[in-house]
Amino acid sequence: MKAFKYWDKVLILFILILWQVVGMLGIVPSFMLPTPSDVIMALFKDWRLIGESTLISLYEAMLGMGIALIFSFVCAILMDRFKIFYNMFYPVCVISQTVPAIAIAPLLVLWFGFGITPKVLLVFVTCFFPLLVGLVSGFEGCDKNILRLYKSMGAGYLRTLFDVKLPFAMESFFAGLRISASYAVVGAVIAEWLGGEGGLGVYMTRVRKGFQFDRMFAAIIVISLLSLFLVRIVDVLKKRVLRWK
């Protein structure tokens, strides 16, 4: 007999039902904790605004992540090629990670205003490091014998990079990309909390002021679905790229 493998879904369903029952029985007042059905209703009622905000946040997240991708590749290759670059920048990158993103978000807003720039920058800051670490450790983990073989056949650095290092680094790069994808939307939303013209973060602060907690929850659900969706895309891409595995 096949083992039942949907326990996670059973648990989620159980929590939702419990939550609904607690709300309906009035154990917790609905203005403090709206029931799942209230949240879904809010999602439908306010779908246009939520949809628009989602697109804005998604755009910021994608832009920040795209820039982080380009920078991480350039930096990882430079660090791989020039040891001095690695020795200079890698420790700084590691130290920079001890600064929480939430702490620098207000500064970014202060420096770059309420436009899109601080949002994209915050996404960039949160996504860059996992991508860089993924690539650098991927390069370092390359089979030394294959690198020697390439050298013995007279291959130059660029050729070795494209033929050997990059393909071998893909596995750990995708591990980094997965983390980045799950941070990206959250990064954008955090920056939006501090002010802006649109996006899910701005939507959340607005409905919070109006005590519309059902809409607040609706936004939270959209954020988490969006992150899951991005992670899923990364997984599909990984499967395609690492088909040889």
Partner 1 sequence: MKVLEGFGLSKSYDGEKIIEDVSVYVKKGEIVSLLGVSGAGKSTLFNILSGLESPDEGEVYLKGECITGKAGRVGYMQQSDLLLPFKSVRDNAAIPLVLKGTDRKKAREEAERILEEFSLKEASCMLPGQLSGGMRQRAALARTFLTGCDVLLLDEPFSALDALTRSEMQKWFRNVIKEKGASGIFITHDVDEAIILSDRIYILSGDEGKISFETEIALNSRDVFEEEFIKLKKEVIEKVK
What's 2's DSSP letter? P
- What gap in Å lies between CA 94 and CA 38, rounded to an integer? 44
Nearer to partner 1, 5 or 144 (CB): 144
CA–CA separation, 59 and 53 (whole Å) = 10
Nearest CB to partner 1, comparing residues 148 and 232? 148
Of residues 98 and 152, the one with the C-beta less far from partner 1: 152
Residue type, 108: L
CA distance to 16, 63, 71, 179, 229, per residue, from 233 (Å): 27, 16, 21, 12, 6
| Cβ at position 203, least distance to partner 1 in Å | 44
CA-based nearest residue to 139, from 178, 169, 179, 109: 169
User: For partner 1, which is the closer residue by CB, 98 or 145?
Assistant: 145
User: Judged by CB, which is closer to partner 1: 6, or 244?
Assistant: 244
Min dist CB 151 to partner 1, Å, is 6
Per CB under 8 A, residues contacting partner 1 are: 143, 145-146, 148-155, 159, 163-164, 167, 244-245
CB of 14 to partner 1, least distance (A): 43
Query: Tokens at residue 216, please?
Result: 């607040």
Measured over the CA atoms of residue 41, residue 46, residue 48 and residue 51, the dihedral's sign is: negative
Shortest Å distance, C-beta 164 to partner 1:
7
C-beta of 161: minimal distance to partner 1 in Å? 13
